[in-house]
Structure 1
Amino acid sequence: MRPLAAGLLLTLAAAAGQAETLRIATFNTELSRDGPGLLLRDIERGTDPQVAAIAEVISAVQPDVLALQGIDWDYEGRALAALAGRLADQGLSFPYRVALQPNAGLPPPAPLDLDGDGRAGGPRDNQGYGRFRGQGGIALLSRLPIGHEGVRDFSALLWRDLPDALLPQHPDGRPFPSPEAQAVQRLSSTGHWLVPVELPGGRWLNVMTFHAAPPVFDGPEDRNGRRNHDEIRLWQLLLDGRLGPVPEAPFVIAGDANLDPGQGEGRKQAIRSLLADPRLQDPQPHSPQGTATVAWQGVGQMRVDYVLPSAGLTVAGSGIAWPDGPDDAAALASRHRLVWVDLLLD
């Protein structure tokens, strides 16, 4: 395994040399496994090449706060703790962590057909896709203290309760797949969290993280496309004060929106609207591949992973950990690339 591209390392070193900066990153690690406990096994064995590549990428970028997607959740947080331990062995300490139960793999209160395929009990009939509870969840690792009492979890919000929800329908206007399904269907396919992180001097930064559903793998009702749209729109509704108290600035949205503003499937207006919101700024991180953050076989490169600071913050640098060859750690780790933004602390 070769290290990350030399040009990337030079860029990271230059940005890290700036005084009083905070590096926020997001990374869809795709560390999910086929059954509960298997990710913990693979991390603890110390021989899994993907785990090693993930650790190498994160260690090279040296984020202060890291939003993770595609990592299996367990009740005691053992897999996340094991990953943090692996990173600590490489000199990168994340003593503070958040890993709430995601909607991925979470069954509804009673067996229901939630995806409209005529059967109940499949992985797509859970609140979010998953063959077991927590498969492909999200997490937050932080070098700085987390204000756990201020964490806000929007994952239990019913999709139908989102203001102006774009709910799917049958051609005759009936709720898709059924009124019973929409009565229990949560909006978040994985989770939406607001996590306060304590900055030097006692100030706070609200990190808002999520992993939206892919806007594909459905039918003409566009259930997943509509859900993806509304999962992205949740953040603007929160900033509008329509989902409870408005988060105090400064804040950063960091996560996987699963939507490119200009190409691929999906309702692109959702991400375009978020990127254009004057309450946010888009640093538009680049790599030699442009702004792309994922390379999907048969689909191509797209920008789907985002770190979006609030408008009042000063961006000191940004980047995408894109490999320069198939043997780079970033290529072996995940189809997604780690995206980072440096914020200048006053």
Structure 2
Amino acid sequence: MPPNVRVAVFNISMSDPIPGAILSQLEQPRHERFSKLAAIIQHVAPDVLMLCEFDHPGEGGDDGALERFCQQYLAVSQHDQPAVSYPYRYCPPSNTGLAMNNDLDGDGKITLPNDAQGFGEHHGHFSFVILSRFPIADKDIRSWQTLVWKDLPGHQMPEGYYSEGASEELRLSSKNHVVVPVDIEGQAIHLVCCHPTPPVFDGHEKRNARRNHDELVLLRNIIENADYLVDDDGNTGGLLPDSRFVLLGDLNADMADGDGMKKAIRDLLLHPRVHRTVSSGRMTPKSLGGRFLRPWQQRRGRPSEWTHISGLRLDYVLPSANLEVLQSGVFWPDKKDPLRHLITDERGRERPQAGSDHRLVWVDIALK
């Protein structure tokens, strides 16, 4: 019998403006914040996991940081949680901190992070990684890292904001858009992963909101097998119509609240190829702890569905409609839960410094 598989996403906030800083911090015998983050992963015990904001070399691969986190934290019990092991890992190339050839912000010089293909203080800043208990089909991984923004049909680039040279060069994906096939006892599940730029820190031109919108459009085009698509290896199209997939990412978009352009996330969540019960129905991932959050501004969304401490649903695990879903959840313990301390500081406050400003989201899938 094929196994039930738990798939999760967690913006783990293990990024630092100084290149190599995360690698150095992982050399500490017990880094308290990393220990809490590892304990959360151990408690949920996903079989396949996307970690957002985990620094590694921008050209891809592991500089040792991911290996250390897996071996010295995840493979060792943290806060009385059982150890977990992920023998298969993928660290994709990233556009973050990759310097442009043309001045992007118009100040007459090329400097990071503002003149990078994706916002970052160094190449690989804010990257994402994939961990799996099951083999990753490395040779079949596809990416759209180099797709130029202006080449997206119907793009929302702010007119007249970027120079002609910058417009010819600026890529759409702020990190990368990848399809990662995982072999689960002979059955292929395609992980469709990205981490779009947040739709904030904008001027009147709304460049980041527009880019977030279009990064989500690219995600949708990949699952639609759009004709115009050409991946980084020159292969055309996206996923085949009968493919089974899971969309994963901190998408930095909420259908009800926040600063983003709502159409793209709405079109994605309500897409006929996406499992509607999980995306917007009775099985949306939920928590008990979100209801205790008091966001700084009024929200319309359901607190049980929030995944970020600003009171937003930003993090998604979206199985395809042709997969059977068993259950789902958000790791956000309520005030009576003995694991509450994993998301709070020493004074019991939910602060980013205690672990992450995001919560881990998981979905259980039954493979027939």
TM range, smaller chain: 0.7 to 0.9
**CA deviation vs aligned residue, 1:287-330 (integer Å, no higher than 9, x gap):** 122100000xxxx3100000000001011010000133596213
Q: Give the deviation of 1:238 after TM superposition.
A: 1.5
Per-residue CA shift, 1:248-300, capped at 9, x if unaligned? 411000101101111111101110110000100124101122100000xxxx3
Partner of 2:285: 285
- Identity percentage of aligned residues: 40
Q: TM-score, normalised by structure 2?
A: 0.83
Work out whether residues 6 and 46 of structure 2, in 8 Å CA contact, stay in contact via their aligned partners in 1.
Answer: yes
Show structure 1 runs of 4+ deviating over 6 A.
none
One-letter code of the match for 1:23?
R
Q: Distance in 2 between matches of 1:327 and 1:318?
A: 19
2:69 alignment partner, one of 71, 79, 83: 83
Give TM-score scaled by structure 1 length: 0.88
Partner of 1:46: 29
Corresponding residue for residue 341 of structure 2? 328
Aligned to 2:192: 208
Structure 2 equivalent of residue 20 of structure 1: 3
User: Which blocks of at least 5 consecutive residues in structure 1 are unaligned?
Assistant: 1-18
Residues 1:63 and 2:46 are matched in the alignment: yes
Gap change, CA 1:183 and 1:266, over 3 Å in 2: same
> 1:237, CA displacement in angstroms?
1.1
Once the two structures are superposed, residues 221-243 of structure 1 have per-residue CA deviations (whole angstroms, 9 ceiling, x without a partner) of: 11000000000111211223222
Checking the alignment, whether the CA contact within 8 Å between 2:99 and 2:110 is kept in structure 1 is: no
Distance of 1:239 and 1:30 partners within structure 2: 28
Unaligned runs of 5+ in 2: 78-82, 230-235, 291-303, 345-353
Q: Which residue of 2 is the match for residue 312 of structure 1?
A: 322
Work out the number of aligned pairs and report it: 317
Greater relative contact order structure (CA < 8 Å, 6+ sep): 1
SS in structure 2 of the partner of residue 177 of structure 1: coil
Q: Which of 178, 198, 201 is residue 193 of structure 1 equivalent to?
A: 178
- Residues of 2 paired with 1:156 and 1:21: CA distance? 35
Aligned partners of 2:61 and 2:91 also within 8 Å: no
Q: CA deviation at 1:48?
A: 1.7
Aligned partner letter, 2:76: D
Q: Does 1:234 align with 2:247?
A: no
Report whether the alignment pairs 1:345 with 2:367: yes
Rounded Cα–Cα distance in structure 2 between residues aligned with 1:232 and 1:36: 28
The one-letter code sitting in structure 1 at the alignment partner of 2:122 is F
Note if contact 1:321-1:330 (Cα within 8 Å) is conserved in structure 2: no
Structure 2 contact 287–333 (Cα < 8 Å) conserved? no
Amino acid aligned to 1:79: A
Task: State the AA in 1 paired with 2:332.
Answer: W
Tell me how far 1:76 sits from its aligned partner.
4.9
Q: Please show how residues 88-103 of structure 1 align to structure 2 within 5 Å.
A: 88-90=75-77, 91-103=83-95
1:301 aligns with 2:311: yes
